[in-house]
Amino acid sequence: MKLARVTGTVVSTIKYDKYQGIKLLKVRHLDLALQETGEEMVALDAAQAGIGDIVLVNNDGGAAQMILEDKALVAGLTVCGVVDSFTCQGKTTHCHG
């Protein structure tokens, strides 16, 4: 799992049948200082996240299958949770407010 920031949403009138009813989000990975790294990517949203939220993303397709309870689902990136705070090397970082 990695930290990421939700940077936008993706609207698609036609999409893979298994994605019907699942929100698609644009996300960008973050370092531990919450600075954006890399390119924007599209992730399935299993955490009801919103634009600007700091989230945990998983790049294991099995995570989407487990969280969304669909063993046939194919996914490269899944938002698994919204992060309120985290502690690394004794320093706590609050992600909201």
Q: What is the pLDDT of residue 97?
A: 59
- Helix or strand (DSSP H, E) at 66: helix 61-67
Topology (CATH level 3) of domain 2-94: OB fold (Dihydrolipoamide Acetyltransferase, E2P) (2.40.50)
- Give ∠ CA 61-67-72 in degrees, rounded to 5: 50
Per-residue model confidence as pLDDT tens for the chain (97 residues): 899 999 999 988 887 777 778 899 999 999 999 999 989 999 999 899 999 999 999 987 777 777 777 787 777 899 999 999 999 999 999 987 5
Enumerate the domain spans of the chain: 2-94
